[in-house]
Amino acid sequence: MAKNKTHSGAKKRFKVTGSGKIMRLQAGRKSGAAFASAPTTGSRKKHRRNAGMVEIEKSDLKRAKKMLGI
């Protein structure tokens, strides 16, 4: 029987913590971010709120684990 392959899109988007939680980037970061070459949109508060990693939802956990081969 063949081995399961890790989904290449999932491995770029999810990180597994030491305790086994699956983390993802906060949504809403890509457009309107504060870059030097582009005009900024949104407040500083919005950029702070969207910074960092968050745990994936319980409803997506089973699917994410399957794609990651966990």
pLDDT in tens, 13-68: 999 999 999 999 988 777 665 555 555 667 778 778 888 899 999 999 999 999 99
Distance CA 15, CA 53 (A): 9
pLDDT, position 38? 55
Structural domains of the chain ordered from first start: 1-27+41-70 (4.10.410.60)
pLDDT, position 50? 80
Structure tokens of 61?
């956990």
Which residues sit opposite 16 in a β-bridge?
22
pLDDT, position 67? 93
Structure tokens of 21?
């939680």
pLDDT, position 70? 86
Tell me, what amino acid is at 39? P
DSSP string computed for 56-69: PPHHHHHHHHHHHT
pLDDT, position 48? 80
Q: What is the pTM of this model?
A: 0.71
